[in-house]
A = this chain, B = another copy of it.
């Protein structure tokens, strides 16, 4: 009954097999092997266009180095007020950009509100050196709140972003879960609606350590080789990442795994809705659920073996919990079983 995070899961057997298979013999290091190149081509197919793709080791690295690629002196990245890049990366985005500011934009359900984005951007007058200069907008899909931007919402944000000549970045730490929840193709989820750079995460969904930065506009990637190396993210044996991606993207495995995770989340959501012992904090999709439990219920669940984290309430909902309640996050993964979910719900008293 581990619902702490999808990164508590291990790796899919097919991932391990691919790594074992590719471990034989010598191959060019630093991303130049035949396998590396073959996997880069797979990304072109997946996204239905030529992309520039760079493997890195962590989602934090993917986001931070992506910002570095489009940074300018006094640079500002606009993001949701509770974005992962603000709340959970220990200042890495600021560090890798030598101090670009992550400027918070409010919005319900963990999503940037386009009107607020427009208003925030209007605070930056062109050539007004004191305020710094916006250089990117970033959205998470799915977001930290377990919600999804619609195609129309992404388009609205992209329009505002591009109007100011900024780059639109998507944090896709759970990209596959978003695709499956929404039924959109990778291209539709990204560049066809205006996304310029994607942090493509696979670690949480059945890999060991496989993240990539995907540039839909190769011009933005011009200096990225140096940015990645200077950022200590150029692995020597990159084929260990390439091998993971190869197995991950093979025959729709990545989407199957994400679908499994999402299905378990749906089962959990249904159980929560049927229970009087807790409630969903807000509607979610994909594989994250936020619930409010009486504190003693949360303790009882934990005592029964369930593992999950307390969660900081969104700024706009800081009264979401009553005095004796906890806001918690429940995450399912590709390896969550029905038994895990049902055992949890049984503890909760739903089953």
Does any Cβ of B come within 8 Å of A234's Cβ?
Answer: yes
Copies assembled: 4
**CB–CB B20/A8 < 8 A:** no
- Minimum CB–CB distance from A33 to chain B (whole Å) comes to 9
**Cα separation A60 to B236 with both chains bound (whole Å):** 10
What sequence of 0s and 1s flags, for each residue 44-76 of chain A, a beta carbon within 8 Å of any chain B beta carbon?
000000000000111111001100100011111
**Residue of A26, A59, A75, A129 ringed by the most chain B CB atoms within 10 A:** A26
Does any Cβ of B come within 8 Å of A186's Cβ?
Answer: no
**CB–CB B26/A57 < 8 A:** no
Does any Cβ of B come within 8 Å of A90's Cβ?
Answer: yes
Q: How many A residues touch the partner, as a band?
A: 35 or more
Contact among B17, B104, B312 for A104, CB-based, below 8 A: B104
Contact among B104, B225, B227, B232 for A57, CB-based, below 8 A: B232
**CB–CB A237/B99 < 8 A:** no
Does any Cβ of B come within 8 Å of A102's Cβ?
Answer: yes
**CB–CB A89/B130 < 8 A:** yes
**Cα separation A74 to B230 with both chains bound (whole Å):** 6
**CB–CB B92/A95 < 8 A:** no
**CB–CB B29/A7 < 8 A:** yes
**CB–CB B232/A233 < 8 A:** yes
Contact among B13, B64, B226 for A23, CB-based, below 8 A: B13
Q: Chain A interface (Cβ within 8 Å of chain B)?
A: 2, 4-5, 7-13, 15-17, 19-20, 22-30, 56-61, 64-65, 68, 72-76, 86-102, 104, 119, 123, 127, 129-133, 203-204, 208-209, 223, 225-227, 229-237, 239-240, 312, 318, 333, 335
**CB–CB A11/B240 < 8 A:** yes
**CB–CB B223/A73 < 8 A:** yes
Contact among B4, B235, B237 for A29, CB-based, below 8 A: B4
**Cα separation A237 to B203 with both chains bound (whole Å):** 8
Chain B residues within 8 Å of A57, by CB: 57-58, 209, 232-233, 235
Residue of B nearest to A73 (CB): B226
Chain B residues within 8 Å of A89, by CB: 130, 229-230, 232
